[in-house]
């Protein structure tokens, strides 16, 4: 992920909405990766700094399976639905995130968990959601193993924000998020080791960490030929 830009790289705007979803359907599936619950398998993001950190964290913290929904809203120019987490939360307070959370024992699948969380957090009615497939498993420093569900969402829904969990919800153009020119590499220290992470600042929103990392994985899986 930290290699120089390749000639095959392209933004979502270059391939178009229909082609983006065609590729997504062809390249993604609903096979659940074993690493979601198997402690011996450490998910790799492709980001060298993040992966070094995960190798350390995996030996110290139990696996916490989680699911998020990458809701791509099929406007004329598609957008991605994101949330800003409530400021009073213990984990990731105030950060930009996808709708989602821990996978409960009552969830039939990671997909079911992602849809449930989207309903609970922002009131997104699952009747508007067309799941496409799972993206790659993504590990975080907090011991979460996140399985994102990519979904095509019909416009026309009405959101109901759960203020206990989410401060606000907003949309960002898919073309902006899938444009490698907007994928900034920032860095910070983790236990004396300098680690890199992706950031995609948009207007007054600072999209970074796992959210930006997952969006970068989406870009690499779908936009690269």
- CA angle centred on 96, ends 199 and 59, rounded to 5°: 75
* pLDDT of 173: 96
What CATH number is attached to the domain comprising 111? 3.90.79.10
pLDDT tens digits for range 107-166: 999 999 999 999 999 999 999 999 999 999 998 877 789 999 999 999 999 999 998 889
pLDDT tens digits for range 88-103: 665 655 689 999 999 9
* pLDDT of 96: 95
Tally the domains of the chain. 1
**Within a domain: residue 31?**
yes
Q: What integer is the mean pLDDT of 198-205?
A: 94
**Within a domain: residue 84?**
yes
pLDDT tens digits for range 205-225: 999 989 999 999 999 999 987
**Within a domain: residue 41?**
yes
Q: What integer is the mean pLDDT of 69-78?
A: 95
- CA angle centred on 110, ends 104 and 112, rounded to 5°: 80
| Backbone angles phi and psi of 146, in degrees to 5 | -100, 130
* pLDDT of 4: 36
Interatomic CA distance for residues 177 and 134, integer angstroms: 18
Nearest of 196, 219, 197 to residue 209 by alpha carbon: 197
**Within a domain: residue 65?**
yes
**Within a domain: residue 195?**
no
Cα–Cα distance list, 57 to 90, 129, 193 (Å): 19, 34, 13
**Within a domain: residue 2?**
no
**Within a domain: residue 99?**
yes
Residue 19 has pLDDT above 80, yes or no: yes
pLDDT tens digits for range 29-71: 999 999 999 888 888 766 666 677 777 777 777 778 999 999 9
pTM of structure:
0.89
**Within a domain: residue 193?**
no
Domain containing residue 125:
16-169
């Amino acid at each position: 992920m930290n290699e120089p830009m390749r000639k095959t790289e392209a933004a979502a705007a270059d391939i178009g909405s229909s082609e983006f979803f065609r590729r997504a359907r062809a390249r993604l599936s609903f096979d659940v990766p074993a690493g979601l619950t198997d402690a011996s398998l450490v998910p790799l993001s492709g980001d060298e700094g993040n992966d070094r950190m995960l190798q350390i964290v995996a030996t110290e913290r139990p696996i916490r399976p989680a699911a998020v929904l990458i809701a791509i809203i099929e406007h004329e120019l598609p957008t991605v639905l994101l949330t800003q987490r409530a400021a009073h939360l213990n984990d990731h307070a105030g950060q930009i995130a996808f709708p989602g959370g821990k996978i409960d024992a009552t969830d039939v699948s990671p997909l079911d968990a992602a849809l449930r969380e989207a309903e609970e957090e922002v009131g997104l009615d699952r009747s508007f959601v067309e799941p496409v497939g799972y993206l790659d498993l993504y590990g975080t420093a907090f011991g979460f193993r996140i399985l994102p569900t990519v979904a095509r969402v019909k416009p026309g829904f009405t959101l109901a924000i759960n203020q206990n969990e989410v401060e606000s919800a907003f949309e960002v153009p898919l073309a902006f998020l899938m444009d490698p020119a907007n994928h900034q590499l920032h860095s910070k220290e983790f236990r004396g080791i300098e680690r890199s992470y992706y950031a995609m600042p948009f207007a007054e929103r600072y999209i970074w960490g796992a959210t930006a990392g997952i969006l970068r994985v989406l870009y690499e899986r779908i936009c690269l030929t």
